Structure 1
Amino acid sequence: MKISELSRRSGVSIATIKYYLREGLLPPGEHTARNQAEYPESTLRRLRLARTLIAVGGLSIAATGKVLRAMDEPVTIFRTLGLAHYALSSPFPDEAHEDVDEQFYAEARALVKAAGWTIVGDTPYIASLAAGHKALADIGLNWSAQDLLPYAKLAHAAARLDFDQDAGIEDRIDIAERAIVRTVLLEPVLATLRRLAQEHEAAQRYQSTGQAADGGGSE
């Protein structure tokens, strides 16, 4: 397909597609004339993913490029998932990883062990978990691995549900795409669901009879 059709079918402007091509997010098409090129169906799929990661997921051009290049690696499904996940930005900002004492790394490793999780090789998420422990401690919540274990179990249940939805899919790129989209796009949805659930629980536990939903009393 020509770039005009690529634009029409994806809903992405020609100018943006050309920008993605210059930045290496999309593979170059097959030139058919001096200023024309043909693009395969796979380019449309990659364009939609890139646009979703950038426009909806909030990833930078550089981060999106890392994710897409990681998914191009000709390796196993497990390795592809690892490369793609590790290309994403940390759940915590870079400054949160500064001056994290070993005790927080120890708690992070203890939590992974208590959850019974198998971690193969180095993972950047131990550092993220340690940063999270420190952030909690900085505001007086000195939670141990045991304190966080119930949350880890909930996270494991969510992860199991994630991959259950991929049952029957064998294409490693398709599985990796789904995993990345879920990670980037579903996490805000899950955070919103949690807040709604907290509102419900707060109302059930603390709202007095006849009290307004905004916390104000009736006159």
Structure 2
Amino acid sequence: MLSAFDKYTIHPGMSSGGSTVRIGELSKRTGVAVPTIKYYLREGMLPPGELTSPNQARYDETHVHRLRLVRALIDVGGLPVATVKEVLTSVDSPSDDIEKLLGTVQHALFPGPPPSSAATQAAAEDEVRALIGELGWYCRDNHPAVSALATVLVSARALGHSEFLDTVRRYVTVAEQIGVVDLDYIVDRLGVDGMVESVVVGTVLGDTALIALRRLAQVSESAKRFPDRRRPAAPA
């Protein structure tokens, strides 16, 4: 039985050498059902195995690795299959252009803005661009994060939270530090293939990690501010 850690451990640069296995063993090693593996093969999310007969194929460590990556993006990253397919296209198209890689992955991850007044959305996007300019950050005007952050502001104001932009400004220092950590993780990977995958892993799984850490920090800060409201520890 695979542990949660083993199931999603990513090993960039794994070679295709070594022993090969049939699809049933591939399923056992990765915890992915055979019908699901066949679906990934049909959709091009998993490369074909080595044919040993018209109806049989064998698979190697690269297939084990790819399956773990796919399941990590779906199960841990929470991405729909269609988005995973887009992201994998980046993984399979090596490039040393970090900005392009980040842009490709981020465009796949950001949903389109929900329906709202075009004028209201445009005004909020102008506010976001002004903030970016004020901070001295580099970002293309059409980056999906601009629209996503503007949508947040529009939604907050519709709920009566007109001051939420002040909170966003307080996030800036933390966000800058996260950007440094993310890029350190990416450039430290050896080789273009490892770098490409680290963009995907660092961005998708990093998002989930940050959400979890935020929740933990909120609980901890709440306990500090309201010690009298802390729940008593459960009996051993």
Please indicate the TM-score interval, normalised by the length of the shorter structure. Answer: 0.7 to 0.9
Counterpart residue identity of residue 230, structure 2? A
User: 2:70 aligned with 1:50, yes or no?
Assistant: yes
The structure-2 alpha-carbon separation of the partners of 1:9 and 1:195, relative to structure 1 and needing over 3 Å to count, comes to closer
Partner residue in 1 for 2:4: none
Structure 1 equivalent of residue 7 of structure 2: none
Q: 1:214 to 1:74 in 2, by over 3 A?
A: closer
| Contact 2:51–2:57, Cα closer than 8 Å, also in 1 | yes
Aligned residue number for residue 36 of structure 1: 56
Q: SS where residue 103 of structure 2 aligns? A: helix
8 Å contact kept, 1:3–1:14: yes
TM-score (norm 2): 0.76
The residue number in structure 2 matching 1:72 is 92
Aligned equivalent of 1:136 = 156
Which letter maps to 1:200? S
CA displacement 1:155-193 (0-9 Å, x = unmatched): 121121122234432333322323323333333332232
CA RMSD of aligned residues (A): 2.6
Superposed displacement of residue 56, structure 1: 2.4
Match 2:46 to one of 13, 19, 26:
26
Aligned residue number for residue 126 of structure 2:
106
1:76-127 deviation per Cα after TM superposition (whole angstroms, max 9, x unaligned): 342223212221243xxx4635325222011111122223221247311111
1:86 aligns with 2:86: no
The code of the aligned residue for 2:114 comes to: A
Report the Cα offset of residue 49 of structure 1. Answer: 0.7
- The letter of the residue matching 1:213 is R
Given the superposition, is the C-alpha separation of residues 129 and 18 from structure 1 closer, same or farther in structure 2, using an over 3 Å criterion? same
Partner SS for 2:79: coil
Instruction: Provide runs of 4+ in structure 1 moved above 4 Å.
Output: 144-147
Aligned pairs, number: 209
CA distance in 2, matches of 1:121, 1:38: 47
Residue matched to 1:213: 230
Instruction: Report the more deviating stretch, 37-46 or 141-150.
Output: 141-150
Q: 1:155 aligns to what?
A: 175
Q: Is 149-158 or 32-41 further displaced after alignment?
A: 32-41
Q: Secondary structure at the match of 2:114?
A: helix
Residue matched to 1:122: 142
Task: Please give the TM-score of this superposition, normalised by the length of structure 1.
Answer: 0.81
Cα distance in 1 for residues equivalent to 2:123 and 2:134: 16
Could you say which residue in structure 1 is the equivalent of 2:198? 178
8 Å CA contact 1:97–1:127 kept in 2: the answer is: no
- Contact 1:136 1:142 (8 Å CA) reproduced: yes
**How many angstroms does 1:22 deviate by?**
1.4
Alpha-carbon distance, 1:4 to partner = 3.1
Contact kept, 8 Å, 1:30 with 1:39, in 2: the verdict is yes
CA deviation after TM superposition for structure 1 residue 214, in Å: 4.5
Listed as ranges, the gaps of 5+ residues in structure 2 are: 1-19
